[in-house]
Amino acid sequence: MTDTRDFDRETAVTRKPGEPSVYDTELHGSWKVGMGVNGGLLLSVAGRALAAELGAGPDGHPDPFAISAYYLSTSTPGPATVSVETLRRGRTVSTGAASLIQTDEDGVPVERLRAMATFGDLDDQTDDIRTSAKPPQLPPPEECVGTESAPAEFRAQSPLLSRVELRLDPATVGWAVGAPSGKGEIRGWFRLPEGREPDPLLLLLAADILPPVSFDLGIYGWAPTLELTVHVRAKPAPGWLRVVHSTRNFAGGYLEEDAEIWDSADRLVAQSRQLARVRLPE
Amino acid sequence: MTDTRDFDRETAVTRKPGEPSVYDTELHGSWKVGMGVNGGLLLSVAGRALAAELGAGPDGHPDPFAISAYYLSTSTPGPATVSVETLRRGRTVSTGAASLIQTDEDGVPVERLRAMATFGDLDDQTDDIRTSAKPPQLPPPEECVGTESAPAEFRAQSPLLSRVELRLDPATVGWAVGAPSGKGEIRGWFRLPEGREPDPLLLLLAADILPPVSFDLGIYGWAPTLELTVHVRAKPAPGWLRVVHSTRNFAGGYLEEDAEIWDSADRLVAQSRQLARVRLPE
């Protein structure tokens, strides 16, 4: 059987004829997790429309340096449009905003997310790297826990799990058997099963692909994202990515979730933070 | 001599007659640092306009939970307008966007920053606090280094320094005498000299009030902010705030700068992250 999974095709945007800066896209049901389409996938789609706009031309800025999304309503599989507004075109970086919109069953447009981003050219950055963060130590992927080990019921709710190769450090999956560490950290390997190598757009997906870090605190509820910001700091080398989710401030029914994404060359290629709401069991 | 400093007056916004959701404000020259008006002050102004819009009415959401700003051009002292767009009005939270605009010398409108934010009511949050982060240990304010110790030349470029009371941990000011620690951390006490107690709006200022953390890496250049996101997690208790700036990934001419803001009751009341460009000495 041919592997028909294709991240690029399923995040593609096409310019809407006659409407400048408006792009059509189709959200694929296989990227659903729980109620809606995965927030990182939506960020990749918005990022692609922003790249089409800000990256165009010889002086264009093709790579996201910083991108922030505010999630407004639950995205559903099906058609969507992304409208891009260029806010500033500069020499080193350019900034834009993007609005992802779907129509509800009555044909009324509903905004799913609004994003802002500053794009540049990662190849233009200096070679001076003084990262003091240390790469995470994980057992090799073959000794980690794959999504195929997830309970059938959970897999059924999360078709997304079959779209990605995700292998979690056994030291951070105690929550899956009712023994969360309480530390607020989940580590794992991530790549696409179709063999497509990582690039800046894939890092936007990777920033929100691990299970909610609240699971490691023993909170198993849905953790909807209010806001997610990703800083892409370098083009990732080919191969597996390592993603570390952590939180230090679970309070008042909300938590921050930080992600660090490391590539196969031990470079910290992206950092992200989100604010998520967590529902405590009654 | 009366203390005429007044954060509230100088971040005030007034509804523009006949233009719904547009606010007038006046950026005060005393909030300048280096070339332009301080980014945290601008975020407070944008936050105030968003609060006027999203916080209105009995079901309004008065407090910023998450706010992100993308800085587009250098703000100058003088009049400015803030246009607010309500993106979604929800039961628990509401989301909006704000655009801060000034006119240049030719009368052409120039956007200074675009912000997005989700507002809620901090008093509605649960009492369940499981913060694992530890409050920073600093010597008492009277044993820390005040801005009055900054070189006269630096103070002349940064009138902002006389608007705030900032007392830095001596362990993190080696850079001021040419001996940066290299750790990438600056800690300090912060309050307003006029005695006004902290609230969520002041936290937006506090997130960008310390010197750039790059100073502690021995990089003394200007570090303009591309993007700044603040999560306000609780209303601060009266008294001094403690602010910790840190970075882990100075690379390629950019760095992330994280801030944690702790109140006098040892509560982690805000977290922020920004992406800044750093210019290395030639």
Q: For residue A46, what are its two tokens?
A: 């918005």
How many Å lie between the alpha carbon of B2 and the closest alpha carbon of chain A?
40
Half-sphere exposure of B136 (CA within 13 A, CB side): 25
Interface predicted TM-score (ipTM): 0.96
Helix (H) or strand (E) holding A64: strand A63-71
Residue of A68, A126, A280 with shortest CB distance to B229: A68
- Indicate if the pLDDT at residue B255 is higher than 50: yes
Q: Radius of gyration of chain A from Cα atoms? A: 18
* CA-CA-CA-CA dihedral for A210, A32, A86, B50, to nearest 10: -80
Please name the amino acid found at residue A222: W
Please name the amino acid found at residue B46: A
Given an 8 Å threshold on Cβ–Cβ distance, is B116 in contact with A116?
Answer: yes
Q: Which residues of B touch A132 (CB under 8 A)?
A: 183-184, 247-250
Q: Over the stretch A9-56, which tens digit does the pLDDT of each residue have?
A: 999 999 999 999 999 999 999 999 988 999 999 999 999 999 999 999
Do B64 and B229 touch, CB atoms closer than 8 A?
Answer: no
Confidence of residue A215 (pLDDT cuts 50, 70, 90): very high
Q: Please give the pLDDT value at position A1.
A: 47
pTM of the predicted structure, to 2 decimals: 0.97
Given an 8 Å threshold on Cβ–Cβ distance, is A271 in contact with B256?
Answer: yes
Q: Over the stretch A56-109, which tens digit does the pLDDT of each residue have?
A: 999 999 999 999 999 999 999 999 999 999 999 999 999 999 999 999 999 999
Span A157-165, mean pLDDT? 91
Say whether residue A181 is in contact with chain B using an 8 A CB cutoff: no
Contacts of B159 (CB under 8 A, 6+ apart): B29, B30, B31, B32, B33
Say whether residue A217 is in contact with chain B using an 8 A CB cutoff: yes
How many Å lie between the alpha carbon of A228 and the closest alpha carbon of chain B?
10
Q: Which residues of A touch B128 (CB under 8 A)?
A: 251-253, 280
Q: Over the stretch B159-208, which tens digit does the pLDDT of each residue have?
A: 999 899 999 999 999 998 889 999 999 999 999 999 999 999 999 999 99
Rounded to whole angstroms, the Cα distance separating A178 from A181 reads 10
Q: For residue B188, what are its two tokens?
A: 């300090």
Q: For residue B276, what are its two tokens?
A: 């800044």
Among B254, B218, B216, smallest CA distance to A127 is for B254
Q: Over the stretch B108-131, which tens digit does the pLDDT of each residue have?
A: 999 999 999 999 999 999 999 999
Rounded to whole angstroms, the Cα distance separating B193 from B43 reads 20
SS3 state at A116:
strand
Please name the amino acid found at residue B136: P
How many Å lie between the alpha carbon of A149 and the closest alpha carbon of chain B?
30
Given an 8 Å threshold on Cβ–Cβ distance, is A132 in contact with B249?
Answer: yes
* Strand pairing class (B185-191; B165-168): antiparallel
Q: Please give the pLDDT value at position A68.
A: 98
Q: Over the stretch B261-271, which tens digit does the pLDDT of each residue have?
A: 999 999 999 99
If you write DSSP's letter for every residue of B212-277 in order, what string do you get? PGGGGGT--S---EEEEEEEE-SPPPSS-EEEEEE-S--BTTEEEEEEEEE-TTS-EEEEEEEEEE
Q: Which residues of B touch A65 (CB under 8 A)?
A: 226, 254, 275
Confidence of residue B155 (pLDDT cuts 50, 70, 90): confident
Do B225 and B259 touch, CB atoms closer than 8 A?
Answer: no
Say whether residue A226 is in contact with chain B using an 8 A CB cutoff: yes
Residue of B184, B234, B253 with shortest CB distance to A126: B253
Q: For residue A247, what are its two tokens?
A: 């939180």
* CA-CA-CA-CA dihedral for A58, A61, A62, A67, to nearest 10: -170
Q: Which residues of A touch B252 (CB under 8 A)?
A: 122, 125-129, 233-234
Half-sphere exposure of A170 (CA within 13 A, CB side): 7
Chain B residue closest in CA terms to A93: B226
Say whether residue B97 is in contact with chain A using an 8 A CB cutoff: yes
Residue of A97, A118, A234 with shortest CB distance to B227: A118
Rounded to whole angstroms, the Cα distance separating B73 from B127 reads 41
Given an 8 Å threshold on Cβ–Cβ distance, is B130 in contact with A248?
Answer: no
Chain A residue closest in CA terms to B132: A248
CB pairs under 8 A between A and B: 167
Say whether residue A32 is in contact with chain B using an 8 A CB cutoff: no
How many Å lie between the alpha carbon of A169 and the closest alpha carbon of chain B?
21
Report in angstroms the alpha-carbon separations of B214 from A272, B38, B222. Answer: 20, 17, 9
Given an 8 Å threshold on Cβ–Cβ distance, is B126 in contact with A280?
Answer: yes
Q: Please give the pLDDT value at position B56.
A: 94
Say whether residue A155 is in contact with chain B using an 8 A CB cutoff: no
